[in-house]
Structure 1
Amino acid sequence: MNADFVYLLIGLALLLAVVLPYALRSVALSAPVVLLAVGVVAGLLPLPDAVRLTPVDDRAVLEHLTEFTVIVSLMGVGLALDRPLNFRSWASFKRWGTTWRLLALAMPLSIAAAAWLGWWVLGLAPASAILLGAALAPTDPVLASDVQVEGPTTDAEDEDEIDERDEVRFALTSEAGLNDALAFPFVHLAILLVGAGSVLDRGVEWVLWDLVGMIVVGVAVGVAVGWVLAKAAFRSNRPAIRMAETGEPLLAIAAILLAYGAAEVLHGYGFLAVFVCAMTLRSMERSADYHALMHEVVERLERLLTLVVLLVLGVALSNGLLDSLSWRAAGVGLLLVLVVRPVTAWVALRVGRRPRDRVGDYHLGPREQLATAFFGIRGIGSIFYLAYATGHGKFSDANVLWSTTAFVIAVSVVLHGVTATPVMRWLDRHREATT
């Protein structure tokens, strides 16, 4: 990729990152929609071939760019959540009930439905069909910012008062933070099928390690790194190390790299480790302003990275990324966004829930259930999964996977980007009227 164009692209993304959030504040349009459109238009210009990123030729660049974007986003998500999670407390665990439903029911059903559609409708090989399901099932932690919690609450007089009151935003935020731990095992399963030809060859190893062991390692590393950094920042005996007092927010960036790097070195899930690390950091001195400082730095870096990726994606869309998109693939993509995610999530939120079930002081009523089910936003994480998998295995249907995934992301960015603001405002007005 031409170095001069890299500077131009980053400069344009930075300028738009500064301007767009304020320019679009009064309209029902998200910054990702504008950036994607700008990228598409830029791709129609006579750009040199050296600056046109393609999934085949620039797979490694796309993998690492989207990888870093996702882990930065996961740190922001973990710091933003106010509701504590303590596995030693059943009451605390139960307050995350909406999240567990989305993860345990909606996520596997979405993967299975997407894989089945890929195999039956598109004629994909089993490994490719599973990869399609794994890549397009998770809610993206990056592009879902318009429907997520805004940031950590630190102005409460008592730490016990700090909790999420908007169950829709909490559900979508927490789901986006944790669902990578369920998507990655199926990405590995797809890679396993490409190499081994049969899941029976390494099926037990996949269940014990990819599905269970790597999750345990990721959680353990996240807790350990987060606990050590939180102890140092808030309660160290050395004043120079208590960064919460000096107000140095770059600890968040260090935490991202330490948690992710340690988890990957130990062969655990780095995405999960980063989110758990952020949650652990957030759990100590919950009312401290330092959490808001760290979140602000992470949020700005995430915004810049997101805009760069969307510009690159837009350029690729108008330069052949959709060449392998058939009418059937487009239909499958629309079904995934408009039917599979909403239906599976709605079923997950309805199963076993009694009409009077409440979470904290907020009730997840029919309107909120529908909104939570609808906003299953697909985005940058899907690009990473595909880039990662195609770098570790030879998928015969790679071009179809890339075109279908890019189409789904584009549809999600536009559809959810246009509807997020009015829907969330409508829910806010309804909640205020009933409280």
Structure 2
Amino acid sequence: MDIYIIGISIVGIASLAMAWMPALTEKTGISYSVWYILAGILLYSFFDFFPTPDPIRKESYTVHLSELVVIISLMGTGLKLDEPFSFKNWKIPFRLVTITMLLSIALVALVSYFSLGLGLASALLLGAVLAPTDPVLASDVQVGPPLEKDQNKVRFALTAEAGMNDGMAFPFTWLAITAALAGGISWANILNWIWMDLVYRIVAGVLIGYVSGRALAWLLFYLPGKGITVEIRDGFVAISTTLTVYGLTELAHGYGFIAVFVAAVALRNYELDHKYHTKMHSFTDQIERILLAIVLILFGGSLATGILDKLNWQIVGFALFFLFIIRPVTAYLSLFSSGLTIKEKLGISFFGIRGLGSFFYLSFALSKAEFSQVDELWTTLSFVVLLSIVLHGCTAALGMQHIEKEQNERNESQKI
């Protein structure tokens, strides 16, 4: 039996099925992520000839596959935001990626240190990898394609947050790596971390992303309008830009995640209402969903083959505490005096979906330094992500309907 042929057949079937998944989600109210994970569990439970999807032993595969899916998703996320960028318009996402993220990292590190018995570096790492919401698995609560003009405040906040905080978690991942390499944290390490990982890498990511996005916009929109170059309207330009910007930024030791998202936002804001953004977003969305189908099946396979072997009641309690207390409370606090209604605040606070970005950060950190209790870290993260996918995947559609119904009723009353 040729495992390779069976493998590509399964990938083909999974990719083909993805075309019907949005409609299935709309009818059932259950995210397609849940169905793909279930498919992975069933495949690896009943057939033992597939290679084991072990993120610990196959660390490099985990790093690069999750990395690829996330950067493509970040480009698509930036392109579909209709809200013009300004600190005033984006004040709510900025609160979420500063106040909420910092509080989440601190509380997760503190709780996991005392309740799970993790070492300092491992506890800090868990805080960093769980802090960012996911741009890949959160499509049910995010805005739709570009130019839809119905992007409400909750969807916009969750979308922009997912785009920004996947890069903003990187400095704290590096802080955990520094602590693991040095066997602790000293003032010298802190100063070096502030300069290199907190300042330089962020600034480099923002600058390279912005310049790249504006330069591409100049090539795509300005020059053709002047008749200087031919008009380009191929959707794959978005993917090409993603890989180019990410690669150049990483070569400059900046944060590629930040650069890709900033480039997408800069490109979108150059010609906000141009229809070409829809074509580029559509291409990134299709590639992302194909890769996502593969990754979710592999995640389901890892659940069936032992990634949760270290699961215990302490980890279960921690996961529930994180999803029901830490994220909602820290997010709600950051939205104080934001002008949002209680339902809008609760929606933003609750639907902080965790996913592939967290897998990347953990596998990346483990490839850079030796951490204690690696199995426990993977079990904890995998269970949190699984619980988040099931919990949010089964409530997102109904929850967003209630929020949008209230918004529509409020808008109608204001017209009268």
Aligned ranges 1:95-244 → 2 under 5 Å: 95-153=89-147, 165-200=151-186, 201-236=188-223, 241-242=229-230
Aligned to 1:70: 70
Contact 1:2 1:51 (C-alpha < 8 Å) held by counterparts: no
Aligned to 1:421: 397
Residue identity matched to 1:261: G
Instruction: Give % identity.
Output: 41
Aligned to 1:263: 249
Question: Which residue, out of 327, 349, 367, partners 2:335?
Answer: 349
Aligned to 1:58: 58
Question: Which residue, out of 270, 280, 284, partners 1:284?
Answer: 270
The 1:12/1:394 distance shift into structure 2, 3 A limit, reads: farther
Q: Displacement of 1:96 after TM fit?
A: 1.1
C-alpha separation between the residues in 1 aligned to 2:33 and 2:234? Answer: 30
Aligned to 2:302: 316
Contact 1:114 1:336 (C-alpha < 8 Å) held by counterparts: yes
Q: Displacement of 1:246 after TM fit?
A: 4.2
Moved more, 92-101 or 394-403: 92-101
Q: Residues 43-94 of structure 1: CA distance to partner in whole angstroms, max 9, x if unpaired?
A: 211322x511102221111111100000010001000001111xxxxxx311
Contact 1:225 1:258 (C-alpha < 8 Å) held by counterparts: no
Q: Residues 372-430 of structure 1: CA distance to partner in whole angstroms, max 9, x if unpaired?
A: 00001000111111110111111121100000100001000000001000111111111
C-alpha separation between the residues in 1 aligned to 2:296 and 2:151? Answer: 31
- Moved runs in structure 1, 4+ residues, more than 2 A? 1-6, 22-25, 237-242
Contact 1:71 1:271 (C-alpha < 8 Å) held by counterparts: yes
Aligned to 2:281: 295
Aligned to 1:27: 28
Contact 2:168 2:258 (C-alpha < 8 Å) held by counterparts: no
C-alpha separation between the residues in 2 aligned to 1:24 and 1:173? Answer: 19
Residue identity matched to 2:56: V
Aligned to 2:83: 83
Aligned to 2:414: none
Aligned to 2:382: 406
Q: Displacement of 1:240 after TM fit?
A: 8.5
Q: Secondary structure in 2 aligned to 1:93?
A: coil
Give the superposed CA RMSD.
Answer: 1.7
Q: Displacement of 1:5 after TM fit?
A: 4.9
Q: Displacement of 1:103 after TM fit?
A: 1.4
Q: Displacement of 1:165 after TM fit?
A: 4.7
Residue identity matched to 1:266: A
C-alpha separation between the residues in 2 aligned to 1:406 and 1:283? Answer: 36
Contact 1:82 1:152 (C-alpha < 8 Å) held by counterparts: yes
C-alpha separation between the residues in 1 aligned to 2:275 and 2:244? Answer: 23
Q: Residues 326-352 of structure 1: CA distance to partner in whole angstroms, max 9, x if unpaired?
A: 2101110111111110011011111xx
The 1:416/1:241 distance shift into structure 2, 3 A limit, reads: farther
- Structure 1 gap ranges (5+): 86-91, 155-161, 358-363
Aligned to 1:329: 315
Contact 1:139 1:376 (C-alpha < 8 Å) held by counterparts: yes
2:326 counterpart of 1:340: yes
Q: Secondary structure in 2 aligned to 1:427?
A: helix
